[in-house]
Amino acid sequence: MAYIKLPDNAAGMRGLMAFRPHLAPHLGAFTEGILCIEDGLTKAEREIIGTLVSKLNDCQLCEGVHGAVAACYLDDNEVLIEQIKEDYKKAPISDKLKALLNIATSVQKGGKYVSESQIQRARDLGATDIEIHDTVIIAATFCFFNRYLDGLGIDPIQDSEIFRQRGRMIAKGLGYAPKK
């Protein structure tokens, strides 16, 4: 049960957005700005970074929702998302994305864990400054949201169908910004 009294019938982030509604538009706009753009990294790649970091942070809610969004962008390929979470180095994804995920796993531990050689490896595989930047800020942002949810004891969601529904809603156009 959540550590604070949240509005009823609002699971996950929705309860927190309703608790401090003046913060919600900024949280939503920030999330959209890093996840809902196709510039360098695809939307699917952005969600994959978020999903992997959430798994490493053991945040069941974020792992579930963002894994579902990523699968939705990839023709419902849930198997691929599971493979990436299990061992991204062996998953059928590009070497460049593997190099970026490698950077993301270091960011998850702490900023100082990112090494020059990890960055060089990503560059050698074609990653641009913007892609490296976006990888780091997405990984850091999930370290933020994972802590926000779990730090307040927000209940997990057990029904994976709910993740699929939310994933579809987000991927098919609703995005993350609170809608009027």
Q: Give me the residues that bind other proteins (CB under 8 A), please.
A: 3-5, 16, 19-20, 22-23, 26-27, 29-30, 33-34, 57-59, 103, 106-107, 110-112, 114, 116, 119, 129-130, 132-133, 136-137, 139-141, 143-153
Which residue, 80 or 136, has its beta carbon nearer to other proteins? 136
Which residue, 11 or 30, has its beta carbon nearer to other proteins? 30
Residue 46: CB partners within 8 Å, gap ≥ 6?
34, 35, 37, 134, 138
Are 64 and 149 contacting, i.e. CB atoms less than 8 angstroms apart?
A: no
What is the smallest separation between the CB atom of 88 and other proteins, expressed in angstroms? 18
Residue 40: CB partners within 8 Å, gap ≥ 6?
128, 130, 131, 134
What is the smallest separation between the CB atom of 173 and other proteins, expressed in angstroms? 20
What is the smallest separation between the CB atom of 117 and other proteins, expressed in angstroms? 11
At 165, is the secondary structure helix, strand, or coil?
A: helix
What is the smallest separation between the CB atom of 157 and other proteins, expressed in angstroms? 16
- In one letter, which amino acid is 23? L
Which residue, 76 or 150, has its beta carbon nearer to other proteins? 150
Identify which of 66, 141, 136, 61 has the alpha carbon closest to the alpha carbon of residue 103.
136
